[in-house]
Every structure is written in C-alpha cells, then in structure tokens.
Structure 1
C-alpha cells in the first residue's frame, strides 16, 4: 500500500485502534476512523461503525483499500459478525486486512481464532497480530488499573506465571507496518515486549516507579471467574479466567523479536512505559 491508499481502522477510539489511526495519519495515509459514535480522531475521517449493525458497514467500506480489524469487545464468538463483514469487504475490493488477535488464541482457536483461520482465504494480503497482554492494563480503565488506584492491589489467577507485556504503541507501530509496507509478508506474528514478568514483578516495579505500595493477590481460577462474571457475560469471564490459568501454567512465558523486525526498533520496557505514563 502507498500513502494514497485509504485504511479503515475499526475501533479507532480503542487502545490499539486509536494509536494505529494516529500513526497512520502522521505518515500521510488516509484513514477512516470507525467507531460506534463516529468519534473524531485527529487527521482522520470519522465514520460510524457497529459490528452488530450491518447498515453501517457499506459506508465504512466505501473507497477502502485496507482494514485494521479489532474484534467486538466481550463477544465470545466474534466470528459470527466478523466473517460476513469480511466477505463483504472482499467483495467491494479491499485488498489487505490486519487482524488484532491475542497471543493466547491460536489460529482456529476460540473467539477470534476462527477469524484468524479464515483471513488468508479472504484477502490477498493479510497479517494477524497476536500481542501479549497490554501494559496499558495497569494505567487505563482496565480492572487492574482500577484496583491499583483504589486499593493498591492486582488480583489474578496467574500464580507466578510470566508474561511478555507489551506497550500498545508498539502494537500500533507493528500494525502500521503490516498495513502499509509494500512487501509485508502474509504472516501470523506473536508480539511481546522485551522482558517476561510475573504479576509479582509488575507490582514491585509499579511500587518502585510510583512510590505507592502495590501488591499482587493470587486467586484461584474459580475465584477469578466469579469475580469477572460480575463485570461481563459469563462465557467471556470464564474465557479470561482460563487465560489467567494458562499463564500460571507457563503459556505466556515467551519473548519474540517481531516488533524489532517489523519496526526496526526494540519494544519499550515496562519500567520505561511507567516512567512516561504514571
């Protein structure tokens, strides 16, 4: 793709979508910033988009060459609404799609894993970005960030398991390259930060950087599932609690060089992220 091409960024007011839209416009690309309320994003054309309202899809796709796809939040089966939209996108000439998935969800797996599996058959150019857990979970409106601010606590069922936490700015930078590089390969990339940390490590670093004591409390899978069920649909709560359990078993204790390879620079450390954001 070139600077003259138009990219539809779905979820343009979200954690990675907003950053992706901002970085694309800064590089001179035309961006249609899609969200349910057509909220403005600097330098982009706001468009209304709702995964569950097909009437919003036609206008959003008009004139689009590439799409950044963020799944609908809290939906345990996003493929049911995403796949018909992607078939429509292919029919109107969209050539490239970049899907935001998760390091915890393989191709053909649950939730967005089915969309991942279908993507190569739908578009001539594609990429699936599977980032690890976001560093922003500790500074924004995520339940971890709220717990840190309100009680000085982080509650998980991850035990001593480690995670290669990643800054959403690095995810967005990877998305921009996947969307715009003319020779970007059709690929599935696990994105991580430069270090694997346990939630005990995270609490200790936050304490050191902010000067405010933060403690990680270890819950069982059942305790975590029940706690999340009070905040979201039971199926999604069970899936998230299951991801915590997988972390405890070592599933996320890995690092990759994907950010460095795509962007030409190393991903940000958690300490550097906190020193800038907190």
Structure 2
C-alpha cells in the first residue's frame, strides 16, 4: 500500500496517475475528496483531512509500505512551521507504523554553503532530516524552481512583463511538475533502494529569466520582457499577498541563494533529468492558460 499526500496538487496528481496505471494499491490523504477525478476516486482508498493532522496521518499510514510526502504551499508564520512543524505528526506516524520507504519533495541546497541560510529551502531540507529520523529508506527529490511558477505571472505576461529579483542573465535549472511526479512514481515502483539521500530532479537545460521570457514570446506571439525587482520590493509584494514578514523573508533568502549559485552545483550526471523542455511546457500549459 502506497500513501500519497497532496493527490490533487501539481505533483501528487501525476504520482497518482502513474501508480494507478501500474495497478498499485493507493491510499490518498486529501482535504476535499470532491476535487479528485471521478475515475481516480473509484480506484483508491481516501482518508479525508490534512496530513498535518496527527489523527489523519495515523489512520492513513496503518499498513502502509511507502509514502509520497509533500508539504503543501501553505502560508505559515515561519519556513520551519510550513515544513518541519507540519511534517512532525507524519514523521511520528511513519515511525510508529514502520513505513519502510519515503519519497519526499524537497529543494536543492543540501551539502552546499547555502544549506543553513536559504530560507524556505533550508526549512525543506530540515523537513527531510526529520523524515530521516523515522529509520525508513528516504529519497528526497531535490527540486529547483518549477516551470509552473510562470502561471502565477499570467496576468503580467498578458501585459508583456515578467517580474522577479534574480538577475536577468543568471542561468538556472527549472523542472516541470509532471517530471517530478514521474520521478517520484518511479521510485515508488521499484523500492529495492535503501539508505537516505537526496536526488536532484532537473529539467533538460539551464535558462535565465531573460531566456524564459524570450521563449514565451516566441511560442505565444506576445512580446514579453523580464523586469528585475529589488529584493525589498519582492518582499513587500509578498507581504501584500498575506505572507508574514518571516515567511516572506524566507522566500527572499531562498531566491538570493539561488542567484548566488545554490541550484547550479547539483551534478547533472547523477540527477534525474526530466523530459519536458520549457518550450514544450509553454506550448502545452502556459499558452492555453493565457488564452483563458
């Protein structure tokens, strides 16, 4: 039995589809079961509630062999509250029920100079450290920025702009959620692995934000330019969206670490390289969203 968290999210839904196609028995933890596609709902066990709730995860993890774990992107007082504190009941339940394999979504940055000063990325790494204390075999899928982040800027893109604090010419890896889901599903399929380590999941190329804007322009026929913000302006905007000062600062610290090179040190030779290029992602996901 595999337990999947966030089964209606950008990554979790791909994990579910891959493992159902292989005939795997799944148990899904979901806040709102009505958001599950009808065909999925008919093939799985459902535990309703939050996987940050001790009673919910205790019920869901009974008899489980493996877990896909992802902390939801919920605004919290601090980065640690969003990751480590959220995952604590789950880690205790995994230990109590003897879960043997854990695949967890995390960030790049482990064993780098930025590990302890990368804000939200640091919190995510510490969350995987907590899961490691369960004694299970653990694979942290270490992720860069998601291609899907561009969807958040759809209103600005329609006006010909993209915004961010990272230098426009800084080349960085990006990954598609579908490829992360496929990577997680693959690890859950063949559970012959042991030990505890992080595995980077990277896209096929490194691109700057100027490159991303150029690709969007070429694919969509809309001229889009990347405009750099100050980190102070970025933080003010994040607070304006309802984030606490500490959580907004966590994003600032994470993006500074990325700009300084945190995401560039992951060795591609040992990473899982996703098949989806940014151009393909724009064609298949961003362009239709801009037309809505």
TM-score category by the smaller chain? 0.7 to 0.9
Asked if structure 1 preserves the Cα contact closer than 8 Å seen for 2:99 and 2:136, the reply is no
2:13 equivalent in structure 1: 18
Indicate how the Cα distance of structure 1 residues 185 and 202 shifts in structure 2: closer, same or farther if over 3 A, else same: farther
2:23 equivalent in structure 1: 28
Determine if the alignment matches structure 1 residue 259 to structure 2 residue 264.
Answer: no
Asked if structure 2 preserves the Cα contact closer than 8 Å seen for 1:164 and 1:254, the reply is no
Distance in 2 separating the partners of 1:124 and 1:61: 13
1:47 equivalent in structure 2: 47
For each residue in 1:213-254, what CA deviation from the matched residue of structure 2 results, as whole angstroms up to 9, or x when unmatched?
A: 111110111111111111122222111122222233233235
Question: Unpaired segments of 5 or more residues in structure 2?
Answer: 117-121, 288-292
2:166 equivalent in structure 1: 158
Determine if the alignment matches structure 1 residue 175 to structure 2 residue 170.
Answer: no
Between the two proteins, the alignment pairs up a number of residues equal to 264
Asked if structure 2 preserves the Cα contact closer than 8 Å seen for 1:167 and 1:273, the reply is yes
Three-state SS of the structure 1 residue aligned to 2:46 is strand
The CA deviation at 1:8 is: 1.0
Asked if structure 1 preserves the Cα contact closer than 8 Å seen for 2:108 and 2:262, the reply is no
Indicate how the Cα distance of structure 1 residues 191 and 125 shifts in structure 2: closer, same or farther if over 3 A, else same: same
2:86 equivalent in structure 1: 81
How do 1:176-215 residues align onto structure 2 when only pairs under 5 Å count?
176-186=185-195, 187-215=197-225
For each residue in 1:130-163, what CA deviation from the matched residue of structure 2 results, as whole angstroms up to 9, or x when unmatched?
A: 1111111223xx3x334324x3321111013222
The CA deviation at 1:276 is: 2.3
1:246 equivalent in structure 2: 257
Distance in 1 separating the partners of 2:49 and 2:101: 19
Asked if structure 2 preserves the Cα contact closer than 8 Å seen for 1:96 and 1:125, the reply is yes
Indicate how the Cα distance of structure 1 residues 90 and 52 shifts in structure 2: closer, same or farther if over 3 A, else same: closer
How do 1:52-201 residues align onto structure 2 when only pairs under 5 Å count?
52-73=52-73, 74-75=75-76, 76-77=79-80, 78-104=83-109, 109=116, 110-139=122-151, 142=152, 144-149=153-158, 151-159=159-167, 160-186=169-195, 187-201=197-211
Higher helix content, 1 or 2 = 2
Indicate how the Cα distance of structure 1 residues 137 and 124 shifts in structure 2: closer, same or farther if over 3 A, else same: same
Distance in 1 separating the partners of 2:71 and 2:150: 21
User: Which is worse superposed, 76-85 or 215-224?
Assistant: 76-85
Asked if structure 2 preserves the Cα contact closer than 8 Å seen for 1:221 and 1:242, the reply is no
Indicate how the Cα distance of structure 1 residues 95 and 185 shifts in structure 2: closer, same or farther if over 3 A, else same: closer
The CA deviation at 1:45 is: 2.8
1:3 equivalent in structure 2: none
For each residue in 1:73-115, what CA deviation from the matched residue of structure 2 results, as whole angstroms up to 9, or x when unmatched?
A: 2341121231232122221121111111112466974312222
Indicate how the Cα distance of structure 1 residues 233 and 35 shifts in structure 2: closer, same or farther if over 3 A, else same: farther
- TM-score normalised according to structure 2 size: 0.83
Question: Highest relative contact order (Cα 8 Å, sep 6+), 1 or 2?
Answer: 2
Three-state SS of the structure 2 residue aligned to 1:94 is coil
Runs of 4+ in 1 over 6 A off after TM superposition: none
